[in-house]
Amino acid sequence: MGILNELAIKHVTDKSSIFHNYCDEYEFFLNGYRDKAINLLEIGVHSGCSLRMWLDYFSHPKTTVYGVDINNVNVGITDSRCKFLCGDQTDANVYSGISDLDIVIDDGSHVCTHQRLTFEMLFAKLKSNGMYIVEDVCTSYWNCMGDDFNFLEYTKRYIDTVNYNGIYNEIDLTNEHPNFPFTNHFMVNKHDIARNSKYLDSTMSQKNMIREYDIRSIYYGNSFIIFFKK
């Protein structure tokens, strides 16, 4: 059992091994942030149990932990590093003035449409090498949420983004780069496998592929997803 899971049990969050069992996998990715000054934002904090866990785990005095909830709850946390914001997770005004986030955790409504809208608002607020976690994505399999949108299916569109540099480039570069040293080795019907984004973006456009965000990689856990920003 890792330190983060121990703290999750201590603070009685449903992220611990007693409930959803997220923390041991999270710690593999989060451990490198422990001694750094970071900005973390969590959506859906209820009584503040997970906020206490994050404050314990990320102990740097200049760390800021933002908690967002649609209900104006009194989390009872006196640590000055904790900032509570009340509002709907899909309302951009809630996040006004917040930027340079290192970690975002969406543990909000679990409605798939809300997960998408929130991701599309907040991913841009992440720093380079930041992490965006969406919890309880099992709701993509449920009909009882009253939402026809499937967040898990939506995330698959970003597989193209992650594999961006491996896409076969169909832009003919022979005229633009006649002396390209590897032309004969990499040419198929006079099409080059160029890695320059200038050409890859054009190829993706021709293939109706989308590269909206700078996503380096995506991790699929049991009922959660982590997006890593370039």
Distance CA 24, CA 102 (A): 19
Domain identity same for 98 and 177: no
Q: Please report the pLDDT score of residue 210 as a whole number.
A: 66
Cα radius of gyration (the chain): 21
Q: Name residues whose C-beta falls within 8 Å of residue 88's C-beta, 6 or more positions apart in sequence.
A: 70, 94
Comparing 146 with 5, which gets the higher pLDDT? 5
Residue 186 clears pLDDT 50, i.e. is over it: no
pLDDT tens by residue, 130-160: 999 999 999 999 977 767 889 999 999 899 8
200 burial class (0-12, 13-18, 19+ CB within 10 angstroms)?
buried
Q: Please report the pLDDT score of residue 194 as a whole number.
A: 53
Q: Name residues whose C-beta falls within 8 Å of residue 112's C-beta, 6 or more positions apart in sequence.
A: 139, 140, 145, 147, 149, 150, 151, 154
**Mean pLDDT estimate for the chain:** 87
Domain identity same for 88 and 134: yes
Token pair recorded at residue 156: 């698959």
Question: What is each CA distance from 84 to 65, 103, 110, 210, in whole angstroms?
Answer: 8, 16, 20, 35
Catalytic residue among 11, 20, 60, 110: 110
Q: Is-catalytic flag, 110?
A: yes
Residue 163 clears pLDDT 50, i.e. is over it: yes
Question: How many folded domains does the chain comprise?
Answer: 2
178 pLDDT band, cuts 50/70/90, is low
- How long, in residues, is the chain? 230
Domain identity same for 52 and 133: yes
Q: Please report the pLDDT score of residue 1 as a whole number.
A: 74
Domain identity same for 191 and 216: no
Domain identity same for 96 and 178: no
